[in-house]
Amino acid sequence: MEEYRKGATGALLDEYEKALFELKSVLQTVGAGEYSQIVEGESDHCRSIQIIMNHVVRAGYGYSKYIRDALSMDVLPIEGKQIPQAEIGGELDKMFAYTAAIFEGERQIADEEMETIFFKTRWEVTYNIDQLFEHAIVHVLRHRRQIKKFLLKFQDSENQF
Amino acid sequence: MDEYERAAIELKSIVENVGEDDYTRIVDTETKDEDCRSIQTMMNHVVHAGYGYANGIRRKFSIPHEPLGRERKQIPPSEIGDEIDKVLAYTVETLDGKWEMSYAEMEEIIIMRKENFSENIEQLLEHAIVHILRHRRQIDKFLLKFGAEN
């Protein structure tokens, strides 16, 4: 029972960690050529697995920044890093640790605050903390799915030759 | 929807393998939340909520729907898998013809989820997915507890 975090925020952190773990498992099956391979017809931030993963890490820090700002906590500047494939697992772990620290630090966040503290994002949508956290989890799920689709596409085009 | 379905299938694979005694066993006698007393009450709640999310979207698009009311349908353990499939099919039918909606379009569609609380359709669907993830985790915890007690 010890591996489960406590409370409503604990549940969200557990599911975020699970989603990231599943994403990392998929990434472990990606070859070096596939990681940087450009997929035509995709939007700019999703043209290769590498670009997607740079985006996922950056977005993760971005979600944390919104929450930290809303709670008047310290914030790190967000860097648009080009992450080598060998370092992506570690970078995801660091991003998750930065998020978990919001809820596992000295500042106690009441369940009520998760639903009553609202802020507007860069894309002009208003979220409370709970909603943004849900968005962060599903963001990881969506990109894991997209990477799996890319891998299937790579496999199909290989089978044609 | 793919991720909603994936979350539901994972939940289904867990609850379909729960023995009848464990399924109905009261875990938390003190909770004020009636939905969280047992795996059965939780699953009744998950199915009910799934219809609620879909109905919110149906109301917005003037698609016919059956008002749910507050009462939870009491689902026997042997029927829970089928009930999960039905609520997924109902949601797919709700979203039929809307698969190509852009994020900008989704953000414009505002749905009342509860009194004094509205959100856009993307936020509602994200909530629906994470709602299932949260309850799958809670059921996992219940099952670990049962395992430790037996």
Judge whether B99 and B45 are in contact, CB under 8 Å: no
Q: Residue A161: what pLDDT?
A: 62
Residue A80 clears pLDDT 90, i.e. is over it = no
Contact assignment for A127 to B137 by CB distance below 8 Å:
no
Domain count, chain B: 1
Residue B83 clears pLDDT 90, i.e. is over it = yes
Which residues constitute the domain of residue B70?
Answer: 2-149
Q: Residue A84: what pLDDT?
A: 95
Judge whether A24 and A18 are in contact, CB under 8 Å: no
DSSP annotation string for chain A = -TTSPPHHHHHHHHHHHHHHHHHHHHHTT--HHHHH---TTS-GGGSSHHHHHHHHHHHHHHHHHHHHHHTT---PPPP-----GGGHHHHHHHHHHHHHHHHHSSS---HHHHHH-EEE-TTS-EEEHHHHHHHHHHHHHHHHHHHHHHHHHHHHHHHT-
Calculate the alpha carbon distances from B137 to A4, A107, B114, B140 in Å.
Answer: 9, 25, 24, 5
Contacts of B101 by beta carbon, 8 Å cutoff, 6+ apart: B121
Q: Residue A2: what pLDDT?
A: 56
Token reading at B46? 């998950």
What is the average per-residue pLDDT within A132-140? 97
Which residue in chain B is spatially nearest to A10 when comparing CA positions? B134
Give A18-49 pLDDT, tens digit per residue: 999 999 999 999 999 999 999 988 888 889 99
- Burial of residue A1, with CB atoms counted within 10 A of its CB: 0-12 exposed, 13-18 middle, 19 or more buried: exposed
Amino acid at the residue A117: I
A16-24+48-155: CATH architecture: Up-down Bundle (1.20)
ipTM confidence: 0.91
Query: Is A3 an interface residue toward B (CB < 8 Å)?
Result: no
Judge whether B135 and B141 are in contact, CB under 8 Å: no
What is the average per-residue pLDDT within B51-58? 94
Contact assignment for A138 to B126 by CB distance below 8 Å:
yes
Interface test with B, best of A129, A134, A143 (most B CBs within 10 A): A134
What is the average per-residue pLDDT within A87-96? 97
Amino acid at the residue B92: V
Band of pLDDT at residue A155, cut at 50, 70 and 90: confident
Q: Residue A105: what pLDDT?
A: 81
Calculate the alpha carbon distances from B19 to A45, B64, B146 in Å.
Answer: 46, 37, 11
Strand-pair partners of B118: B112
Q: Residue B147: what pLDDT?
A: 82
Interface test with A, best of B117, B130, B142 (most A CBs within 10 A): B130
What is the average per-residue pLDDT within A88-109? 92
Write the CATH number for B96.
1.20.120.450
Contact assignment for A1 to B145 by CB distance below 8 Å:
yes
Query: Is A134 an interface residue toward B (CB < 8 Å)?
Result: yes
Residue A1 clears pLDDT 80, i.e. is over it = no
Residue B35 clears pLDDT 70, i.e. is over it = yes
Whole-number Å distance between alpha carbons of B135 and A6 = 14
Band of pLDDT at residue B113, cut at 50, 70 and 90: confident
pTM above 0.95, yes or no: no
What is the average per-residue pLDDT within A123-131? 94
Band of pLDDT at residue A71, cut at 50, 70 and 90: very high
